Structure 1
Amino acid sequence: MTDNRARRMWKTLEPFHAITYFAPETRQATDALGLKGGWMSYFGCRAAPLGAAPAELVAAIFYNFHPAMVARSLPDAWGFASPTALLDARLAAVDTAVRRLFGSAPFGRAAELARRAAEAAPVAGRPLAAANAALEWPSEPHLVLWQATTILRESRGDGHVAALVNAGLSPCQALVTISAAGGPSKQVFQVSRRWTDDEWAAASDDLRSRGLLDDAGELTDAGRTLRQQVEDTTDVLADQGWRALGDELTTELADVVRPLSSVVMSGGLIPPDNPMALRWD
């Protein structure tokens, strides 16, 4: 995919945001509240800024998860813990995990710059970004950095969903095309998003009928063009916060966060073949 400012910043900041999903502290915190299993923990924590949302709404906003997968966790999660309790739990878990991973590392400058970018990131038409942006800012710099990376990530993700809808790619087709473009494997996506073999095959058949996928399951020229269009649109829509921060300060933020994200990635907290299609070098 084309390298640009928005994509570079996503790659730099995503590991720090993703601590909340991969660190054991989050599961421990939600287990203590009575939630059942890692996926209920994930959907409950990530959807909590939306309030006690029904599964149908969360599946629509998250987009590429199988609706039945979401429905196995929501709304049941809200019966064990309120969204407010889960927001408190995820922030406390991040606090503990970051202190464990980084000790007394300084976070002040990174927090300052990331918050400025997050406050400039677009939220109109971006429900998950808007919901996270509406939360009160924590006081500790490492938590400010995490909340800012979360707002920026969800703003980008909401824009990505808009790009997929505009391209006419269904949730399962979005996964088929990114896998065919060299992203995570079908097996990784089926474990983490739960589309069945039949559903994957039906999505692939429709892509073939549109001239986007060939008989070998590879993207055609038209398919590659459409996939690149999705990624380019995503980057353009995500660039507002970075444009407001400016090249110099954006580069400074990347320089101070990259070593933190490198610790997360090189330490094995996030597996190399992950459903975020995040690769580290």
Structure 2
Amino acid sequence: MPTEQEIAMEQQVETRARRLWRAVEPVHAVTYFAPESKEACDALGTKGFWMSYFALRAAPLGAAPAELVTALFYNFHPAMVARAVPDVWAVAAPERFVAARLEAVDAALRRLLGADVLSSPEVAEAAGIARDAALAAPTAGRALAAANAALEWPDAPHLLLWHAQTVLREHRGDGHVAALLSAGLDPVEALVVFAAGGSAAAEKLRERRGWSEQEWAAAVDRLADRDLLDGAGAITDAGRALVVEVESQTDALADVPWAAVGDARAERLVELVEPLVAAIVAGGGFMVDNPMGLRPLTSAG
């Protein structure tokens, strides 16, 4: 359950871009959280969840080295990335992982939503709005967004919706990295201060991103030296203000696509995807306890 602090912050800073991210992101998240994706990667020869994750997310870049993947994904420990990349490209070519993730997402959405829903005019309408937003997303300086935008667009409406959101979420993520850099937060410091602000449980976040207890503690000390955390490791007013600044900048950088489609169509997309997201969450296609601290925007929350 979200803390009172999380809910208050959400209500305080929720913008059009953040609202759309919360509304549509679970459509993309099946890429990693639905079992079909890991099964597809296992069939190609990957070992474990993280090898499949790095393969599926990095594949649009081509056979990228670990250093590039680490740089673009930003908050994973370099050694964690290096355990999967570039070995994964010896398992199968990036193009095969691109194809595998599309096939897996297709299977997952068919299972979670059903054929009648996927063939509905509502899904087709949602896909059209999301596509227009994604096509309006600028990719200059945004490598992950550009790599996904360069892929062939699917024809089926539910896959078109998924692909559009994939471009949009990587567009947002690339902008988030720019905001973190502007704030002077290195990868582990970003995790520490956001965990201290209540976005995610610190220990789970540390483990999921591969940082040691010593590296985490050193980041706490650096942040305390900047008065962003206090002596006990709790976030200060200055730290909370910096988190809000980073999130506000992230939202501002992510808003261009939604400005292009306009408020009416953006809100129509929220309305159209709400039952889809509710079914995805109910069917286990989205990790509720996720490292992003994302609470899906549904009628329940």
* TM-score greater than 0.5 by the shorter chain: yes
Structure 1: distance between partners of 2:282 and 2:231: 37
Which residue of the partner structure matches residue 42 of structure 1? Answer: 53
Which residue of the partner structure matches residue 52 of structure 1? Answer: 63
Task: Look up the equivalent residue of 1:176 and give its one-letter code.
Answer: V
Match of residue 215, structure 2, among 193, 199, 204: 199
Does residue 78 (structure 1) correspond to residue 89 (structure 2)? The answer is yes
Structure 2: distance between partners of 1:154 and 1:75: 21
Shift of 1:192: 1.4
Task: Look up the equivalent residue of 2:143 and give its one-letter code.
Answer: P
Task: Look up the equivalent residue of 2:51 and give its one-letter code.
Answer: M
Task: Look up the equivalent residue of 1:64 and give its one-letter code.
Answer: N
Structure 1: distance between partners of 2:288 and 2:124: 29
Within 5 Å, which residues of 2 pair with 1:224-239? 224-239=240-255
Shift of 1:217: 1.5
The residue matched to 1:39 in structure 2 has which SS? helix
Structure 2: distance between partners of 1:267 and 1:199: 37
Structure 1 gaps of 5+ residues are none
Match of residue 31, structure 2, among 8, 16, 20: 20
Q: CA RMSD in A?
A: 0.9
Within 5 Å, which residues of 2 pair with 1:1-281? 1=9, 2-104=13-115, 105=117, 106=120, 107-280=123-296, 281=301
Structure 1: distance between partners of 2:35 and 2:287: 14
Could you tell me whether the CA contact under 8 Å between 1:190 and 1:196 is conserved in 2?
Answer: yes
Provide Cα deviations, 1:225-251, integer angstroms capped at 9, x if missing partner: 111110000000000000000000000
Could you tell me whether the CA contact under 8 Å between 2:29 and 2:285 is conserved in 1?
Answer: no
Which residue of the partner structure matches residue 4 of structure 2? Answer: none
Could you tell me whether the CA contact under 8 Å between 1:188 and 1:273 is conserved in 2?
Answer: no
124-133 or 180-189, which deviates more = 180-189
Shift of 1:191: 2.6
The residue matched to 1:68 in structure 2 has which SS? helix
The residue matched to 2:199 in structure 1 has which SS? coil
Structure 2: distance between partners of 1:254 and 1:191: 33
Provide Cα deviations, 1:131-151, integer angstroms capped at 9, x if missing partner: 000001011111000000000
The residue matched to 2:232 in structure 1 has which SS? coil
213-222 or 92-101, which deviates more = 213-222
Structure 2: distance between partners of 1:190 and 1:208: 18
Structure 2: distance between partners of 1:238 and 1:218: 29
Task: Look up the equivalent residue of 1:184 and give its one-letter code.
Answer: A
Task: Look up the equivalent residue of 1:72 and give its one-letter code.
Answer: R
Structure 2: distance between partners of 1:165 and 1:213: 18
Structure 2: distance between partners of 1:32 and 1:45: 13
Provide Cα deviations, 1:75-128, integer angstroms capped at 9, x if missing partner: 000001000000000000000000001112122111111000000012111000
Which residue of the partner structure matches residue 3 of structure 2? Answer: none
Structure 1: distance between partners of 2:203 and 2:280: 24
Provide Cα deviations, 1:13-52, integer angstroms capped at 9, x if missing partner: 1111000100110111111111111111000110000000
Shift of 1:224: 1.0
Structure 2: distance between partners of 1:34 and 1:116: 36
Shift of 1:215: 1.4
Task: Look up the equivalent residue of 2:241 and give its one-letter code.
Answer: T
Could you tell me whether the CA contact under 8 Å between 2:183 and 2:246 is conserved in 1?
Answer: yes
Structure 2: distance between partners of 1:135 and 1:150: 11
